[in-house]
Amino acid sequence: MKSSNKSYKELEEHFGRLLALREAAGLLHWDASTMMPKGINSSNARSEQISAIATICHEIINDNKISDLLDEAENLPTLTNWQTSNLREMRHMWIHETAVTKDLVEALTKASMSCEAQWRISKGDSDYTTIKPYLKEVLKLVKYSASKKSEVLNCTPYEALMDQYTPGLRETTINPLFKDFENFLPDFLRAVLEKQASEPQVNKPTGPFPIHQQKELGHSFMKMLGFDFREGRLDVSSHPFSGGTPDDLRITTRYDLNDFTSSLMGVLHETGHALYEKNLPKDWRRQPVGLARGMDVHESQSLLIEMQACRSREFLSFAVPLMKRAFNLNGPEWNTENIYRLYTKVQPSLIRVDADEVTYSAHVILRYNIERSLILEKMTLDDLPGMWNENMKKMLGIIPTNHELGCLQDIHWFDGAWGYFPSYTLGAMNAAQLFNSAVREKTNILPSIKCGNFGPLYDWLIENIHGLGSLYETPELLERATGQPLNAEIFKQHLISRYLN
């Protein structure tokens, strides 16, 4: 027995080192987005460094030793639940890493880094032709990787890609969900727009809102949520994200001198991500079971904070006075109800990250349909801009006037993150269901948020989600927390209640 448990312990060591290396690579990515000089040589060098780490990670996990240890440990009779789940997660990582060759990993890392660097330029020029050859290379490698993984996972290539970010997610789950929402949206959106058009005009506070004041306001809201600046930072990047490690959280935003609202909600969104990381089980730090449970759950945590909690009347009644004070401004536009209506205003628009809660999912479903078609070879990159515009027209009734506002707006495809987009809308659905359960179970959550106290909400989240890491697979995690499987009706009900009632 003792000698068998050795296999498990050895696995913990190997994966511990692997995850330390991934953390290092994560910091290199953060730096590339926030601090790294803009020269192409700098980013080429960074590609080499990240690629070297990715190759090492690939080698660690591809070592035959790991395969033997996994086989052995999976048959151990005396593992705890956490250890068993840790093995399950190790196996999942192992499957994804061993399905592809080192050369492919290396090539994909490098191609993505080059493509991302070129994307920053092409996006600025709104030029699809200069990025297309780079994107073609990335797509080729992604497709190849997807086909390899699909063989082992016994699923479609597109499912294999989603499985990297949302383990276990298959089209049988997501297709009906998205189809249903596509059907729900047009009438609902029309009703919301009509209702809002019939109401008095929303008054948007006018700036300028000095950047240092926006930053200070963001900091104070982050602290209110529980962000500890002794173990984290807020910086600027062109594409906001949450990175770092549980003990060194790195979130980013971007500021608009004439509009503080979007940066502020962005900061709250990323803080939601960051605090999930912070509250992951410390005993399982740098072990697969100690990691966040897939990107759909991750996105649920950011959207639960941003959309469910912070766009509520309860929170805004507390927050609006702080906003006024931060900018030393006053006037009727700072009325809480007006700000609430501003933050829940629905308006079909071109940019996903600026989209309101109702139309956001349309952006995601558009991308889902396109990337799925590209991976399954139902369309080619030549069709991409046209398909984009056509679907924007169909779903939201608007067409981008240039590619920067269209198919070049998101980093994901250019960065190699294919199969990621569905996480956003799944996250929104999870968030609605989780928040709904939380506030029903703990009746002091909403009253506390009204006083700027997120303690009770986080107590519930830590107990039901954060502190569990990857102990349970996503469906079980959600069912344990809410008493039922993913139920998209709750999200729709939330939308109806917030936007039509």
Min separation Cβ 286 and a copy of itself, Å: 7
- 136 near a copy of itself (CB under 8 A): no
Tell which one of 10, 171, 182, 247 touches a copy of itself (CB under 8 A).
247
Min separation Cβ 120 and a copy of itself, Å: 13
- Cβ 450 vs Cβ 317: under 8 Å: yes
Tell which one of 150, 213, 245, 409 touches a copy of itself (CB under 8 A).
245
Q: How many CB atoms lie within 10 A of CB 188?
A: 18
- 229 near a copy of itself (CB under 8 A): yes
Q: What is the dihedral of CA 410, 411, 413, 419, to 10 degrees?
A: -80
DSSP state at residue 407: T
Element (H, E) at 79: none
Closer to a copy of itself by Cβ: residue 50 or 155: 50
Task: Lay out the sheet containing 248-253: strands in order across.
Answer: 232-236, 248-253, 242-245
User: For strand 232-236 and strand 248-253, is the pairing parallel, antiparallel, or unpaired?
Assistant: parallel
- 341 near a copy of itself (CB under 8 A): no
Tell which one of 7, 33, 51, 369 touches a copy of itself (CB under 8 A).
51
Contacts of 149 (CB under 8 A, 6+ apart): 95, 96, 99, 100, 157, 160, 161, 163, 164
- 193 near a copy of itself (CB under 8 A): no
Q: 253 phi and psi, to 5 degrees?
A: -145, 180
- 46 near a copy of itself (CB under 8 A): yes
Closer to a copy of itself by Cβ: residue 32 or 265: 32
- 228 near a copy of itself (CB under 8 A): yes
- 53 near a copy of itself (CB under 8 A): yes
Contacts of 402 (CB under 8 A, 6+ apart): 126
Closer to a copy of itself by Cβ: residue 289 or 432: 289
Give which of 244, 225, 224 is closest to 233, Cα–Cα: 244
Cis status of the peptide bond prior to 208, with omega within 30 of 0: yes
Tell which one of 24, 104, 381, 398 touches a copy of itself (CB under 8 A).
24
- SS3 string of 246-298? CCEEEEEECCECCEHHHHHHHHHHHHHHHHHHHCCCHHHCCCHHHCCCHHHHH
Closer to a copy of itself by Cβ: residue 30 or 460: 30
Q: Which stretch binds a copy of itself (CB under 8 A): 13-21, 180-188, 301-309, 382-390?
A: 13-21
Site string for a copy of itself, 261-290 (x = CB under 8 A): -------------------------x----
Q: Which stretch binds a copy of itself (CB under 8 A): 46-54, 74-82, 206-214, 300-308?
A: 46-54
- 232 near a copy of itself (CB under 8 A): yes
- 31 near a copy of itself (CB under 8 A): yes
Paired strand residues for 259 = 256
Q: Rounded to whole angstroms, how far apart are CA atoms 109 and 120? A: 17
- 49 near a copy of itself (CB under 8 A): yes
Tell which one of 1, 2, 3, 35 touches a copy of itself (CB under 8 A).
35
Closer to a copy of itself by Cβ: residue 71 or 216: 216
Paired strand residues for 252 = 235
Min separation Cβ 61 and a copy of itself, Å: 13
CA-based diameter of the chain, in Å? 73
Min separation Cβ 351 and a copy of itself, Å: 28
Q: How many residues bind a copy of itself (CB under 8 A)?
A: 38
Query: What is the helix, strand, coil percentage profile of the chain, to 5?
Result: 70, 5, 25
- 17 near a copy of itself (CB under 8 A): yes
Binding residues vs a copy of itself (CB under 8 A): 17, 20-21, 23-25, 27-28, 31, 35-39, 41-42, 44-46, 48-53, 55-56, 228-233, 245-248, 286
